[in-house]
Amino acid sequence: MCGLCFCPIAIPSEIEFVPSCPRPGPAGSYRVFSRQKRSGSIPGISRPLKFNVNAVYLTQLFKYCSVAFINMKVRPEDSLKIENIVASAKVTDYLDLPELASKIKDAEYNKKRFPGVVLRMQNPKIAALVFGSGKVVLTGAKSIESLSKGLEILGKQLRDLKIDIPKKLTYKIQNIVTSADLATAINLNKIAVGFNLDRIEYEPEQFPGLVYRLENPKVVVLLFGSGKLIITGGKEPEDAKKAVVKILADLRSLGLM
């Protein structure tokens, strides 16, 4: 195994790279440890011998090391990143929006532009869209935990205004947008031909990605030639992982990965 990056190339175990050798050769030095026992030597103690390595050998070494680093990519199903969670909640039966906007700091309310009050939180970074019917839409969350925390903060703000709010608020996830990376370029033209035509949309003149609608899980996946994916429509974080696994299986069955 290579001592530089631990890639599985055939480097003898007796060789150790010494970049700070006082007398380096053209491209660095190695130390060779003699494993042969000598009379009078202490058992277990190796004797280092130094020699210079030519530039060609070291160039090849780094070439193999770089290949090893490339092969150490994260698996596509482990590259998932939640970009946005949209959820809805019912906090009460009626809210006086003008009064709400006047009493909550930094609240945004312009009835001509949008029928609700916009409350922007900083920690977590979430926006709450509050409507007069008592319905709330939360958007911008990057995790389920931040979504729950954002709803708790909103509930406290409303209770502080003496508004009758249930002690425990619940939400319903409407959409989870997740990104992923296949870590390799893909041929969208071949995918468009090989995939189920009833479930795909591909018009490169209008949109650079291929739209793939899955039934299980019921999500929409946007595939791009770079290998990047956007999964939208999920109701649970696990939906995105299932979608990526399904995409990988489909691509491999067609010999496209």
Phi, psi of 32 (to 5 degrees): -110, 125
pTM of the model: 0.70
Q: Which string of b and e fits 93-118 if b means at least 16 CB within 10 Å? A: eebebeebbeebeebebeeeeeebbb
Torsion sign over Cα 123, 129, 131, 134: negative
- The residue count for the chain: 257
Reading the block at residue 178, the tokens are 């997740």
**Tens of pLDDT, residue by residue, the chain (257 residues):** 444 444 444 444 433 444 444 444 444 444 444 444 444 444 444 444 443 444 544 455 444 444 444 444 678 888 999 999 999 999 999 999 999 999 999 999 999 999 999 999 999 999 999 999 999 999 999 999 999 999 999 999 999 999 999 989 999 999 999 999 999 999 999 999 888 778 899 999 999 999 999 999 999 999 999 999 999 999 999 999 999 999 999 999 988 87
Residues of the chain with CATH 3.30.310.10: 76-80+176-253, 92-168
Output the CATH code of domain 92-168: 3.30.310.10
The domain over range 76-80+176-253 is classified in CATH as 3.30.310.10: yes
